[in-house]
A and B are shown apart, each in its own frame.
Chain A
């Protein structure tokens, strides 16, 4: 049967028609097209048949966008993050390309579930279509494999840690597990070969296998014909154009959803009158992978969240539990699915199949909801009724014996409070996740800011830049090494009082600046918790000087004190812009004066000997800070009267100091607020 349009094209014999004739003579393409398009659709075109086509479309989209991404991606530990950054933030349209690839992958997982559900509900796996159903299951696993491998390729914190978990799970397979793991990651450490292998899997092996299987899947589908939903009430139709139109509309809808996800944030920003940064649209890019930096926000992509949660069911079972949860149970579920075509021969078997599939999907949905609830619990739980429990927790430090004593043996109340403590624990865990996720966002934003410097990224990669950044590393080093004694909090902040009360050394917020010095020279503050109040210098010479001499308006005029403050900030190199030189000069002279500060402190060459008080030459400068952090017991600083502060940069022969010179420099830079600003 010749199609009417083909015949018409032949009879018109325009130049196009003649070209078509020429080609058809030599290739027979019309017959092929006819074969492809004029497939009978029993009962007419229906929307429920579109899922398979949308999946093929989604895969084609991934193939196209993937190839273009490939043209700009570089798989190595020093270039993967960097090249993805370049695609996302510097290449025109890179954000759109990557966004489509990222979200279409997620759409594909959803479409897979719908396609599977439709096939099972319609019983389309029954004879003679068993083999095609099995092929479909293999295709599904290939798609999931591509999702899993693609997650690592940007080599950011998120992908890196999620992949560590996934590959470690592969490692618990008995006998072959460790070898499989080592093969997949290309050695014993994660690095260049992990990326090259994941990339080859993601862009070569898996899609190659998928295309082969898909060809067989589709030809078997054509061989058996469409499995029509019974009962058939309408006349048959042809695949072209009726079903094709429905398929095409569905594809367009899928693409519209993907574009919507990418572009809605831009629309929101525009409506709010905020600037739109194209690089921030579409797929996220986290901070570069750092094996030395814990990442508490590590979670798999949302469609694997149910597996992540499922593993928690087996918590406490050790490796056996993980083996059960990650391999045995999912394996069994896949096994049952493979048996479906055989089970489906019985009426009851088909019902079981439908119930089983719905059950698995519902279960996965439930587990996903549970996982989300655990992570975001702190956002929606009402904390008001827990106030008393929280108070008791703070008082007793969570100690059960103390709680029993506090409640005076009230058993019912004890049980109630303990239950609330469990809720509080859940809130704390959720809050920890939320904090980590927030921190991850800040880290990512900073890394992207640094990568955009005019000097670009050093050849050693982004991690080098991130590790040398005071703004990123300062707070971490401070929290690890300094915060057990020192506070670093804006005294005006609402929580400042509570934080200062707990600190046992000076508050270093804005150390080196006039604001800090003004507090130190304030008789009301010098012996407070922000300065010497919680230290051995509480009753020292400096405190008595500030509270005695300085407080005496006859000895120290207000202007003089202000001049000293300005001069000290000047020593640090942190004087406010627009300070008058005369004021600086006056302050310097007062500081050096042997009758005033210079009586105890050495400043420049004022002749005062070291040993009685810290040297104020270059006080608060980078060099001065590096010096005091390295060794506060040096005679230039506190000497013998040093109060508890460790010498972070000094070590016994052969041992490593607590902090490297680079780390100390980062702390000094951070305290002084010196870091790259765009």
Chain B
């Protein structure tokens, strides 16, 4: 190693070499990165299934006393490669007024940040255990509230055979408007 110390050859030739080296090296390295990012972005292609009415319970099982009761929503579910037979996928509160044949449904998911809203033990209001948002039995907001909007109502209908069906939807959390997710 006793040769002359070579200064990096200046000029066009050197620039060309540098540019080529960066181009080749960059292209080679970007290939696996591109493949990785492509696969990593796959979830963005996937859409939630269209909302559909799911049978939740029988009309007779919802007492007509104006007090909401909690019911599990049961449906078949797919998770990446696994297909699950019918199982609980969430919960709703159903409420029926005195002598009424219609049922109102509230999603149990808190509009603030998605925690599970519970009934107060007194049965007088809803309270979310995460940041203490409080809601009336109709789902209305009780100020001051971290939640920007009332509890999310869900479309609900009673079929001829008395089955109570709820349109199962999720909404974006943390915003004042009710936007389907």
Contacts and interface: CB of A to CB of B under 8 A. Distances in A.
Interface of A: 3-4, 38, 40, 42-43, 57, 60-61, 64-65, 67-68, 71-72, 79, 82-83, 85-87, 90-94, 96-97, 100, 104, 225, 228, 232, 235-238, 240-242, 244-245, 247-249, 251-252, 254-255, 259, 451, 455-459
Interface residues of B, number: 37
A93 B5 contact: no
Contact of A235 (B3, B32, B41): B3
Contacts of B99: none
Contacts of B39: 68, 71-72, 87, 91-94, 96-97
Contacts of B35: 65, 68, 93, 96-97, 100
Nearest to A255: B28
Interface string B57-90: 0000000000000000000001011111000000
Contacts of B40: 68, 71
B47 interface: no
Interface string B10-52: 1000100110111111011101110111111110010000000
Contacts of A457: 81-83
14 contacts: A4-B8, A42-B1, A64-B33, A91-B42, A104-B32, A236-B1, A238-B6, A240-B18, A240-B21, A247-B21, A252-B27, A456-B78, A456-B83, A458-B83
Given A38-B8, A241-B18, A457-B82, A228 B1 contact: yes
B161 interface: no
B21 A248 contact: yes
A244 B21 contact: yes
B100 interface: no
B122 interface: no
Main SS at interface, chain B: helix
Contacts of A86: 80-81
A195 to B, nearest CB: 16
B36 A455 contact: no
Contacts of B29: 57, 60-61, 251
Nearest to A239: B8
B44 to A, nearest CB: 9
B83 A94 contact: no
A456 B38 contact: no
Given A43-B3, A57-B28, A248-B25, 16 more contacts: A3-B8, A57-B29, A67-B36, A68-B37, A93-B38, A97-B35, A97-B38, A100-B32, A235-B6, A244-B21, A248-B28, A249-B24, A252-B25, A255-B28, A259-B31, A457-B81
Contacts of B41: 92
Contacts of B36: 64-65, 67-68, 97
Contact of B24 (A79, A236, A251): A251
Nearest to A5: B18
Main SS at interface, chain A: helix
A249 B26 CA distance: 10
Interface of B: 1, 3-6, 8, 10, 14, 17-18, 20-25, 27-29, 31-33, 35-42, 45, 78, 80-84
A85 B41 CA distance: 17
A104 B32 CA distance: 10
Given A65-B36, A86-B80, A240-B8, A247 B42 contact: no
B42 A83 contact: no
4 interchain residue pairs of minimum CB distance: A456-B83, A93-B38, A68-B36, A248-B24
A645 to B, nearest CB: 38
Contacts, number: 135
B4 A65 contact: no
Given A93-B42, A254-B28, A82 B8 contact: no
Contacts of B84: 459
Contacts of B33: 64
Nearest to A99: B35
Contact of B82 (A38, A90, A459): A459
Given A57-B28, A455-B83, A241 B42 contact: no
A155 to B, nearest CB: 13
Nearest to A84: B81
A96 B41 CA distance: 14
A68 B36 CA distance: 5
A94 B3 contact: no
B79 to A, nearest CB: 9
Tell me which of B31, B32, B83 has the highest count of chain A C-beta atoms within 10 A of its own C-beta: B32
Contacts of A244: 21, 25
A41 B27 CA distance: 25
A83 B28 CA distance: 28
Nearest to B23: A248
Contact of B8 (A64, A238, A245): A238
Contact of B6 (A57, A93, A236, A248): A236
A252 B42 contact: no
Nearest to A96: B35
A85 B1 contact: no
Contacts of A228: 1
A169 B166 CA distance: 59
Nearest to A461: B82
A238 to B, nearest CB: 5
A251 B41 CA distance: 26
A252 B78 contact: no
A498 B41 CA distance: 57
Contacts of A65: 32, 35-36
Contacts of A64: 32-33, 36
A302 to B, nearest CB: 22
A3 B9 CA distance: 11
Contacts of A245: 17-18, 20-21, 24
Contact of A456 (B14, B31, B81): B81
Nearest to B10: A4
Nearest to B27: A252
Contacts of B21: 240-241, 244-245, 247-248
A248 to B, nearest CB: 4
A10 to B, nearest CB: 17
